Amino acid sequence: MTMTKNNFRVFIYTLLILFAGSCKISDKPVVDATETDVAVVDDLVLKDSVPAQQPPVFYQPKDYKESRIQKNDIIHTKLDVSFDWAKQHLLGIATLEVKPYFYPQNSLLLDAKGFDIHEVVLLNNGTNTNLEYEYDNLKLDIALDKEYTRNEKFTIQIKYTAKPNEMEVGGSAAITSDKGLYFINPLGEELNKPRQIWTQGETESSSKWFPTIDAPNQRCTQEMYITVDEKLTTLSNGVLVYSKLNGDGTKTDYWKMELPHAPYLFMMAIGEFAIVKDKWGDIDVDYYVEPAYEKYARSIFGNTPEMMTFFSELLNYPYPWPKYAQVVVRDYVSGAMENTSASIFMEQLQVTDQELIDTHWDYIIAHELFHQWFGNLVTTESWSNLPLNESFANYSEYLWNEYKYGKDEADYHALEEAQQYLKEAESKQVDLIRFYYNDKEDMFDSHSYSKGGRILHMLRKYVGDDAFFKSLEHYLKKNEFSSVEVHNLRLAFEEITGEDLNWFFNQWFLAAGHPILDVSHQYLDGKVILEVSQKQDTSKFPVYSLPLYVDIYVDGRKERFAVKVDKPYQVLEFQVGAKPSLVVFDAEHQLLAEINHEKDLEELAFQYNNSTAFLARNEALQTLSENIYASNNNTIVAKALDDPFWGLRQLAVNAFENYEGDNLQVVEQKLISMALQDKKSVVRADAIGTLSSIDSTRHADIYKKGMEDPSLVVIGASLYAYGKTNEKDKDQVFGKFEKVNNVNVIVPIANYYLESQQFDKADWFIARMEHLKGADLYYMLQYLGQLALAAPPEVQTKTADVFHDYAINNDLYYVRLAAFQGLVLLEDVAGVEQMIQKVMSREKNPQLLQYYQNMTQ
Ligand SMILES: [Zn+2]
């Protein structure tokens, strides 16, 4: 699953932190506290008070999260489902083939959340026997007709109605609920929004739409009979065997998955989708998008077959499932989800070819695809071991970037991942594999994703590429269609390499923290003396064992030394011919660590000029940019304007923001040519921004040319810069872009209308918003609120009506939040106080309501 990875989420999260203050709002699904809470008497009391003669009391520490105990094993799940759109109900018949896992069983305990149970029968050669059961709205406890041994199968059929909207929202700090089954625009009342049904199983929400043993260590084969309006398209796991018209305006689609997989990976998506067909060998690769995006689907998803080839060859394990479909849905609760053979993505992936100039979605497409091996074929046995799914999916983004776009691009991505983990580490440092957590949703953090991905990279660097990928192949083949814990991974690597790897796994997978290294070097008597101190708190975190490389540059020649840092304080000595121009600690830039190795500007200039690795050039250029007025650093940063890697050109461009030092004219000329010609659109856009920052009144002609650029990011930057000039035709120029539906263009226009206090443009804001969704809508509501604040009364009244409408009717909590904030800004306007009260009386989300109450007190 991709949750933390997309910028959109990060953006929303950041905004919510800004606006919500201490109010806890997150985008993670709500979890049933009742399900994972282990009601155990205080373990210390229990332990000490049990007399020695009593039988042993098996207890577990209070928060230990064990894997689900396996009493019964579901072998096959057959579902027959239809829908009541008005009530948002699923009408289902589930037929489960089950056998005891090992010990004989006379009952079957299923997860079934928020159902009406109509009938539970045992099917036995045509005779149906009603079975007794107890149901508490979360668990269905079925008494079997006799005791079954592990060699006996039995088949249970359950008729039920699933009512995901009628479950109480749990007590988590999350906002988006974990409903499992979602009806989007069920009555077709919302304009510009399709009617859809889709599911989201992870972590344990599949049991909100079918009865199952909802745990990742369970797996079964699957059949789905989905009956819907014949105009709608369905998607589920496995292959579509047939689609049959029922003669009453409905059809039944029959989907079949003959390979076993875990219940959290079951899925359905239903809606009016265009299907764009692709192939990987004999395997169907389909892209399901809204009809308006049919012509762009291949541009968005078109690298999928090449990725399937790349990953299949890398792992020496062909893509395991009978097809691969990718579907984009509305109002998705996360970034994407790797349902087996049918991944779901958020609507932000639906972009035009023009928008694809500025961005692509390969990382998320690779992530969900790699899960088809790591997660779906080989599955974590418990949420404690979630990094066995997510760290691999995260690392696939590196692998794909490295293969497709080159090492610089991959390392650029890796740097962002490391920073994401280090940011999180400021407030949270926990074991990567952790058996103690409050809520299973807490596992979906930058530890499981970013840190895990970086750890796999270090493991690859240590064992070497050949051993790394051979070990992964071995791990997959040995554990296919089964559940794993972290030791399975270690053993696979040990079996291939012949080396005990506990030291690596213990310090990285099973402990918290990361190395914090103070490094210094000096040259003395023909030797480089390198001092390394591990500064992390070693009472809480490991003293790390770190195999790495040191590069020493002497007389223009680089020599590489393999070393091992494994003590709290260590001195390393290297024989060299003369005083070195540069010493690079961790020359492969593989460590996930905070490294403080002070170098002077001269050394950094040498490092920039002589390194091939992006991370080395980047490290040097960062510091040189921060000191752009020192010595002749501006000439080195100016040289970086021609760096072969766009990320460094962009860094250099931004280093000249507000620049007023030497060589200004030369720099400006270079920025002008970059604004018009750089290969990368964000670099062109930033060159325009930097030019404008140096002197906002000049270069209007360049900005006008920028408005003809194919890239919307460049057009947006040009508009923004043009708005700051003193040109007389600004209203006319901005007017030409009023109809563009892209946030990069809309925001500078909104900004200009706000700054020039053009209250009559309130209608433009309102009209634009009808075409926007999600974060873009959030932006516009904020701008409109600011504009309305100083506007004439009739504009304020009109705006308040719009805010009122969004605050009540939008499905996305952060859009409702922005609209509510707009109303509060206008609270002195006649009638708005009543609107605020009405919004608060209608808001069903407890966290949001609490926030509203705090805000209006
Ligand atoms: Zn994932």
The closest of 386, 415, 419, 382 to 401, measured between CA atoms, is 415
Task: Tell how far the Cα of 776 is from the centroid of ligand 1, in angstroms.
Answer: 25
Task: Tell how far the Cα of 284 is from the centroid of ligand 1, in angstroms.
Answer: 22
Task: Tell how far the Cα of 202 is from the centroid of ligand 1, in angstroms.
Answer: 10
Cβ-based neighbours of 355, under 8 Å, separated by 6 or more: 712, 742
Indicate yes or no: pTM above 0.75: yes
- Residue-wise DSSP of 426-443: TT----SS-SB-S-GGGG
Q: Three-state DSSP class for 144?
A: strand
Q: How far is CA 679 from CA 8, 307, 403, 683, 721, in A?
A: 25, 25, 20, 8, 20
Task: Tell how far the Cα of 469 is from the centroid of ligand 1, in angstroms.
Answer: 20
Task: Tell how far the Cα of 367 is from the centroid of ligand 1, in angstroms.
Answer: 6
In angstroms, the CA 581 to CA 602 distance is 9
Task: Tell how far the Cα of 143 is from the centroid of ligand 1, in angstroms.
Answer: 37
Task: Tell how far the Cα of 29 is from the centroid of ligand 1, in angstroms.
Answer: 15
Task: Tell how far the Cα of 542 is from the centroid of ligand 1, in angstroms.
Answer: 28
3-class secondary structure for 56-108? CCCCCCCCECCCCCCCEEEEEEEEEEEEECCCCEEEEEEEEEEEECCCCEEEE
The closest of 222, 67, 190 to 808, measured between CA atoms, is 190
Task: Tell how far the Cα of 264 is from the centroid of ligand 1, in angstroms.
Answer: 13
Task: Tell how far the Cα of 259 is from the centroid of ligand 1, in angstroms.
Answer: 21
CA atoms within 13 A on the CB side of 180: 31
Task: Tell how far the Cα of 368 is from the centroid of ligand 1, in angstroms.
Answer: 6
- Tokens 């904030």 found at: 821
Other CB atoms within a 10 A radius of the CB of residue 502 amount to: 12
Task: Tell how far the Cα of 643 is from the centroid of ligand 1, in angstroms.
Answer: 33
Task: Tell how far the Cα of 443 is from the centroid of ligand 1, in angstroms.
Answer: 12
Task: Tell how far the Cα of 397 is from the centroid of ligand 1, in angstroms.
Answer: 11
Cβ-based neighbours of 331, under 8 Å, separated by 6 or more: 182, 184, 347, 811, 812
In angstroms, the CA 699 to CA 721 distance is 9
Q: Three-state DSSP class for 387?
A: helix
For residue 451, the 8-state DSSP code is I
Cβ-based neighbours of 662, under 8 Å, separated by 6 or more: 632, 634
Task: Tell how far the Cα of 635 is from the centroid of ligand 1, in angstroms.
Answer: 43
Task: Tell how far the Cα of 375 is from the centroid of ligand 1, in angstroms.
Answer: 8
- The answer to whether the beta carbons of residues 745 and 714 sit under 8 Å apart is no
Task: Tell how far the Cα of 320 is from the centroid of ligand 1, in angstroms.
Answer: 17
Task: Tell how far the Cα of 682 is from the centroid of ligand 1, in angstroms.
Answer: 27
Task: Tell how far the Cα of 523 is from the centroid of ligand 1, in angstroms.
Answer: 47
Tell me what pLDDT residue 137 has: 95
Task: Tell how far the Cα of 5 is from the centroid of ligand 1, in angstroms.
Answer: 9
Task: Tell how far the Cα of 319 is from the centroid of ligand 1, in angstroms.
Answer: 17
Task: Tell how far the Cα of 390 is from the centroid of ligand 1, in angstroms.
Answer: 5
Task: Tell how far the Cα of 347 is from the centroid of ligand 1, in angstroms.
Answer: 17
Task: Tell how far the Cα of 550 is from the centroid of ligand 1, in angstroms.
Answer: 34
Task: Tell how far the Cα of 293 is from the centroid of ligand 1, in angstroms.
Answer: 25
Q: What phi and psi, each to the nearest 5 degrees, are found at residue 482?
A: -145, 180
Task: Tell how far the Cα of 449 is from the centroid of ligand 1, in angstroms.
Answer: 8
Give the chain's count of helices (H) and strands (E).
29, 29
Task: Tell how far the Cα of 387 is from the centroid of ligand 1, in angstroms.
Answer: 9
Task: Tell how far the Cα of 489 is from the centroid of ligand 1, in angstroms.
Answer: 18
Task: Tell how far the Cα of 391 is from the centroid of ligand 1, in angstroms.
Answer: 8
Task: Tell how far the Cα of 58 is from the centroid of ligand 1, in angstroms.
Answer: 35
The closest of 540, 535, 527 to 593, measured between CA atoms, is 535
Task: Tell how far the Cα of 314 is from the centroid of ligand 1, in angstroms.
Answer: 19
Q: How far is CA 644 from CA 612, 623, 641, 683, in A?
A: 10, 19, 9, 12
Task: Tell how far the Cα of 385 is from the centroid of ligand 1, in angstroms.
Answer: 13
Q: How far is CA 134 from CA 90, 139, 140, 159, 757, in A?
A: 21, 8, 6, 15, 65
Q: Where are the alpha helices (DSSP H) in 438-535?
A: 452-463, 465-479, 486-497, 502-508
Task: Tell how far the Cα of 405 is from the centroid of ligand 1, in angstroms.
Answer: 21
Read off the pLDDT of residues 518-531 as tens digits, 9 standing for 90 and up: 999 999 999 999 99
Task: Tell how far the Cα of 361 is from the centroid of ligand 1, in angstroms.
Answer: 14
Task: Tell how far the Cα of 394 is from the centroid of ligand 1, in angstroms.
Answer: 7
Task: Tell how far the Cα of 252 is from the centroid of ligand 1, in angstroms.
Answer: 31
Task: Tell how far the Cα of 1 is from the centroid of ligand 1, in angstroms.
Answer: 3
Task: Tell how far the Cα of 431 is from the centroid of ligand 1, in angstroms.
Answer: 19
Task: Tell how far the Cα of 488 is from the centroid of ligand 1, in angstroms.
Answer: 20
Read off the pLDDT of residues 761-786 as tens digits, 9 standing for 90 and up: 999 999 999 888 778 899 899 999 99
Task: Tell how far the Cα of 629 is from the centroid of ligand 1, in angstroms.
Answer: 44
Tell me what pLDDT residue 63 has: 78
Task: Tell how far the Cα of 577 is from the centroid of ligand 1, in angstroms.
Answer: 50
Task: Tell how far the Cα of 602 is from the centroid of ligand 1, in angstroms.
Answer: 43
Please identify every stretch of the chain with a pLDDT value under 70, giving residue numbers as ranges.
3-62, 168-177
Task: Tell how far the Cα of 220 is from the centroid of ligand 1, in angstroms.
Answer: 21
Length of the chain: 857
- The answer to whether the beta carbons of residues 152 and 99 sit under 8 Å apart is yes
Read off the pLDDT of residues 166-198 as tens digits, 9 standing for 90 and up: 886 543 433 356 899 999 999 998 878 899 999
Tell me what pLDDT residue 793 has: 94
Task: Tell how far the Cα of 386 is from the centroid of ligand 1, in angstroms.
Answer: 9
Task: Tell how far the Cα of 316 is from the centroid of ligand 1, in angstroms.
Answer: 21
Task: Tell how far the Cα of 513 is from the centroid of ligand 1, in angstroms.
Answer: 22
Tell me what pLDDT residue 173 has: 37
Task: Tell how far the Cα of 389 is from the centroid of ligand 1, in angstroms.
Answer: 7
Task: Tell how far the Cα of 266 is from the centroid of ligand 1, in angstroms.
Answer: 15
Task: Tell how far the Cα of 338 is from the centroid of ligand 1, in angstroms.
Answer: 7
CA atoms within 13 A on the CB side of 64: 9
Task: Tell how far the Cα of 494 is from the centroid of ligand 1, in angstroms.
Answer: 26
Task: Tell how far the Cα of 374 is from the centroid of ligand 1, in angstroms.
Answer: 9
Task: Tell how far the Cα of 384 is from the centroid of ligand 1, in angstroms.
Answer: 15
Tell me what pLDDT residue 599 has: 95
Q: How far is CA 769 from CA 113, 355, 743, 777, in A?
A: 37, 19, 11, 6
The closest of 119, 66, 72 to 91, measured between CA atoms, is 119
- The answer to whether the beta carbons of residues 300 and 350 sit under 8 Å apart is yes
Task: Tell how far the Cα of 297 is from the centroid of ligand 1, in angstroms.
Answer: 22
In angstroms, the CA 142 to CA 158 distance is 10
Note the Cα 742 to chain centre separation in Å: 22
Tell me what pLDDT residue 144 has: 98
Task: Tell how far the Cα of 491 is from the centroid of ligand 1, in angstroms.
Answer: 23
Task: Tell how far the Cα of 743 is from the centroid of ligand 1, in angstroms.
Answer: 27
In angstroms, the CA 839 to CA 852 distance is 9
